[in-house]
Amino acid sequence: MPATVALAVARYRPEEEPAPTLQTYEVPFREDWVVLDALNYIKDRLDGSLSFRWSCRMGVCGSCGMKVNGTPVLTCAAFLSEHLPGPIRVEPLDYFPVVRDLVVDLSDFMRKLKKVKPWILREEEKPLAEGEYRQTPDQLDAYKQFSMCINCMLCYSACPIYGLEPSFIGPAAIALAQRYNMDSRDQGARERLEILSGYDGIWQCTFVGECTKVCPKNVDPAGAIQQYKLTSAVHWLKTLLPWGAR
């Protein structure tokens, strides 16, 4: 094993330079270090001005997504040892505007999130005193997988469609919509139909499947999109029926 490893890190200081550049740092190599450990080493010891987001170190907050050697990953789960001999290239996620260095602007996703109405929609609410809505194991299984999303944005960065068509609502948002559509407590599927089946919705997706490959939580957004395409097609067929089977 080497004593050190080189990291080629994307730097961009908008107040000083017109475009991002790569800067190389030599950090100690340790078997148990992930890329995030190396970035923190750089920030604390070598260059205090390096900017990146991180928080939990345990793969649940979804803050530290970056591209490592070209692939979107959570840097808290990307071991240096898997990327030897280096230099290991660390860059901000694709398709989002760069604020500085490895920090990207996620406001586009925040807006899209709201559009899919990720909350329970019901015609009537029973009073709290009557207790919870009951859910069977099968009912939980129908949406549990889609609820694991940590909003890390790896799937957007991996999605070539989003790269070409920024208005595409995108993998995580669609999976989230499906999380609520499939929840037995929810009655809002019709309200979400317009955005999901609309111009920027599921039909943009050509089923590349990269979103599912990079997802660190096995949410399977591509599966959610396929599942919804079927729902949407059935709904559309029904609208053609003369006897109003809707």
Partner 1 sequence: MAVEYETHEHDVIVIGAGGAGLRAAIEAAAQGVSVGLVCKSLLGKAHTVMAEGGIAAALGNVWPEDNWQVHFRDTMRGGKMLNNWRMAQLHAQEAPERVLELERWGALFDRTKDGLILQRDFGGHRYARLAHVGDRTGLEMIRTLQYHAIHQGIDVYMECKVERLLRDGERIRGAFGYWRNTGAFVLFKAKAVVLATGGIGKIYEITSNSWEYTGDGHAAALWAGADLIDMEFVQFHPTGMVWPPSVRGIVVTEGVRGDGGTLRNNQGERFMFRYVPEFFKAETADNEAEADRWYEDKRNNRITPDLLPRDEVARAINAEVKAGRGSPHGGVFLDIGTRRPPDYIKKRLPSMYHQFKELAGVDITKETMEVGPTCHYVMGGVRVDADTTQSTVPGLFAAGEVAGGLHGSNRLGGNSLSDLLVFGRRAGLYAALYAKDLGGRVVVDTAQVEAIARELLEPFTRPWNENPYAIQAELQETMQDLVRIIRTESELRHALRKIDGLKDRAKKVRVEGGRTYNPGWHTALDLRSLLTVAECVTLAAIERKESRGGHTRDDYPKTEAEWGKENVVVRQKNGTIQIAREPLPEMPAELRRLFEEKK
Q: What count of residues does the chain have?
A: 246
Q: Cα angle vertex 181, ends 73, 139, to 5°? A: 95
Which of residues 137 and 244 has its CB atom nearest to partner 1 in the complex?
A: 137
DSSP 132: P
Distance, CA of 8 to CA of 126 (rounded, Å): 57
DSSP 245: -
Considering only 49, 160, 163, 166, the residue that binds partner 1 (CB under 8 A) is 49
| Residue 51 in contact with partner 1, rule: CB under 8 A | yes
Distance, CA of 204 to CA of 191 (rounded, Å): 19
Q: At closest approach, how far in Å is the CB of 100 from partner 1?
A: 4
Are the CB atoms for 168 and 211 separated by under 8 Å? no
Which of residues 161 and 214 has its CB atom nearest to partner 1 in the complex?
A: 214
> What is the total count of residues that contact partner 1 (CB under 8 A)?
62
Q: At closest approach, how far in Å is the CB of 28 from partner 1?
A: 12
Q: Per DSSP, what are the bridge partners of residue 4? A: 28
* DSSP-derived pairing of the beta strands 21-28 and 65-68: unpaired
Which of residues 14 and 198 has its CB atom nearest to partner 1 in the complex?
A: 14
Q: At closest approach, how far in Å is the CB of 105 from partner 1?
A: 8
Helix axes 171-181, 189-197, angle to 10 degrees: 160
- Which one of 36-44, 88-96, 166-174, 234-242 is the stretch in contact with partner 1 (CB under 8 A)? 36-44
> Which parts of this chain interact with partner 1 (CB under 8 A)?
13-16, 30-34, 37, 43-45, 48-51, 53-63, 77, 99-101, 103, 105-106, 110, 113-114, 117-120, 125, 128, 131-137, 140, 143-144, 147-148, 150-151, 180, 183, 185-186
